[in-house]
Structure 1
Amino acid sequence: MSTEDTNHNAQAPEAAASVRLRPFIAPCHQISPTAPLRWLKQGFKDFKQAPLLSMAYGSLFMLASWLIALWSWQVGSFTMLIVLFAAFVFLGPALAMGLYSVSCQLDRGMKPRIGFCLTQGKKRLGNQMVFAFALLVIFLVWARAAAIVNIFLPMARSPNASELMTFLIIGSVVGLLFTLVVYCASVFSLPMIMDREVDAITAVLSSVNAVLKNKAAMLLWALIILGSVLLGFLTLFLAFVVTLPVIGYASWRGYRETIIGDEWQQDPDTAA
């Protein structure tokens, strides 16, 4: 056996041990309950540093919302409107990868470019598809659960107040449970996938772990996201041009402050 083979065999167990020692879940910092307010301020700063690119992303979200509302109005189905917007909310985190890339570039002292966003997205396409597929499965399960909830509201006649209240309470609880699952799984996982050479499962588990260990702050962040969505509805989606990019950038800032991803290599194209 040659010396080179001997050295290779000696290094193999060390490499394997290194892989085994890598944690399956990234640790996280304990953050203050008001930390999301700081993320929001930093997100708005990122927006001002790349206004045209930010508004381009925001306009895409606004146009998508208009198309959903228009199609639902044409088919005359309010239920369809709710379902389509639910799909948009469920799959929205995967669509925000470009926003994370903009903040990532700013973080590294780079000038944000749409071409670079597309390149990063292409490199992370595999993990994005895994994550998007998981969200799609969750949405389909939610849609089936929503259909089952309809048994509490007989549609053959006009429901009375008691039946309507039962339907609204049960439907809201079911929807909230699915929303919490998506929120916990996505709030930090996609920024981590953008930033580190990490698989989708590890990123999702790290996100859930960080949310559970910072419940107060993450509740505030969820309320801020909800508020931005409601503002979009109240302005006929015009506010999405600004609010959704800011939320995307703030999510990146929250990830950077919360998740400790040192065990995973950074993207070599953006590593400082």
Structure 2
Amino acid sequence: MDEQDDLTGAPSPDAGDAAARRGAAAAGGEEADAPSRPFVVPCATLGYDAPWRWLRAGWRDLRATPGLTAVFGFVILLVSAAISLLAWNLGRFALLATLLSGFVFIAPLICVGLYCVSRALEHGRTPALSESFVLAKRVAGQAGVFALAQGVIVLLWSRAGMMVGAFFPIDESNADTVWQFLAIGSAVGSIFAALTFAVAAFSLPMIADRDVDMVTACVSSINAVLRNKGVMALWAGIIVVLTALGFATALLGLAVLMPLLAYAAWHGYRETLDAHEWPALD
């Protein structure tokens, strides 16, 4: 009977079991070969000298690319001047919030272009404006998601400010109500400002460098900020001071300070987040 089965070619039960085991082993090998990445990008523990180191690195990038930086600086100056001029002429807070929201949608693409400059210098290449445009186009979808998230935060921030004014109206004859309004309004604004900063600190540089989704980038940015609260608070303070200095110079300083901060933010991302497990953008 065994010889007859062999002659007819009918598979034996042992052969079927062996084939099943080979199939399971192959499937297991495929699962083992599949990349397994953490949900949050690992981050470093920073010292208080880190923000100053980022600024020095950003200044080197600015000095290495004066012409290209001037192009981006001119665009930033035009956008900032247009927003300020329209808000001044029309004098409506609601319109100002809308215009600022519009800038939130434009700024990420400008920042991606600046990150591309630092990225090219880091890789030993000569930065080119065309390369910045190509990268900005490639990550436009992710930058759009980022802009939408920031836009939602700005709108919620604006709504919260209106609610503070409604629940804590100012009585000019009573100084206590003024201080109460300022204290509560500042506290609410600080919460939204901190959230905006935590989301934006490292997420946008990461999507300009790696093939990563915006959710992972934003969560990783928030995690890195929370793990380095003191250092990132110092970095946020530096950003506020330099931005205020740019506005104090009739916006002219923004043409230099904003690219400088973008270059510094790139180096901050590279030092803080270890994103080597995600494929680099070509």
Normalising by the residue count of structure 1, what TM-score does the alignment of the two structures yield? 0.87
* Structure 1 unaligned regions, length at least 5: 1-5
Shift of 1:186: 1.0
Shift of 1:220: 1.1
| 1:154-233 aligned within 5 A | 154=169, 158=172, 160-233=174-247
Q: Secondary structure at the match of 1:96?
A: helix
Shift of 1:170: 1.3
| 1:1-150 aligned within 5 A | 13-17=28-32, 19=34, 21-77=36-92, 80-81=95-96, 84-85=99-100, 88=103, 92-93=107-108, 95-150=110-165
Partner Cα separation in structure 2 for residue 8 and residue 43 of structure 1: 54
Q: Is the 8 A contact 1:24 1:202 kept in 2?
A: yes
Relative distance call for 1:126 and 1:81 in structure 2 (3 A) is closer
Output one character per residue of 1:190-225: Cα deviation in whole Å (capped at 9) or x when no partner.
111111111111111111111111112111110110
Q: Secondary structure at the match of 1:197?
A: coil
Aligned to 2:262: 248
Partner Cα separation in structure 2 for residue 90 and residue 245 of structure 1: 17
Task: Determine which of 243, 251, 268 is the counterpart of 1:237.
Answer: 251
Q: Is the 8 A contact 1:90 1:182 kept in 2?
A: no
One-letter amino acid matched to 2:90: V
Moved more, 173-182 or 87-96: 87-96
Identity score, percent? 41
One-letter amino acid matched to 2:66: P
One-letter amino acid matched to 2:80: S
One-letter amino acid matched to 2:79: A
Relative distance call for 1:162 and 1:106 in structure 2 (3 A) is same
Aligned length: 262
* Structure 2 unaligned regions, length at least 5: 1-20
Shift of 1:113: 0.8
Output one character per residue of 1:163-188: Cα deviation in whole Å (capped at 9) or x when no partner.
22121111111111111111111111
Moved more, 91-100 or 223-232: 91-100
Relative distance call for 1:135 and 1:44 in structure 2 (3 A) is same
Q: Secondary structure at the match of 1:195?
A: coil
Calculate the aligned-residue CA RMSD, in Å: 2.5
Relative distance call for 1:127 and 1:79 in structure 2 (3 A) is closer
Output one character per residue of 1:62-116: Cα deviation in whole Å (capped at 9) or x when no partner.
2212111211221134675477447646874554111111111111111111111
Output one character per residue of 1:1-32: Cα deviation in whole Å (capped at 9) or x when no partner.
xxxxx999866544444557310111011121
Partner Cα separation in structure 2 for residue 159 and residue 20 of structure 1: 66
Shift of 1:142: 1.2
Q: Is the 8 A contact 2:109 2:136 kept in 1?
A: no
Relative distance call for 1:139 and 1:159 in structure 2 (3 A) is farther
Moved more, 163-172 or 240-249: 163-172
Moved more, 134-143 or 42-51: 134-143
Partner Cα separation in structure 1 for residue 94 and residue 175 of structure 2: 19
Output one character per residue of 1:112-139: Cα deviation in whole Å (capped at 9) or x when no partner.
1111111111111221111111111111
Q: Is the 8 A contact 2:97 2:158 kept in 1?
A: no
Partner Cα separation in structure 1 for residue 42 and residue 233 of structure 2: 20
Q: Is the 8 A contact 2:104 2:151 kept in 1?
A: no
One-letter amino acid matched to 1:147: M
Partner Cα separation in structure 1 for residue 34 and residue 199 of structure 2: 24
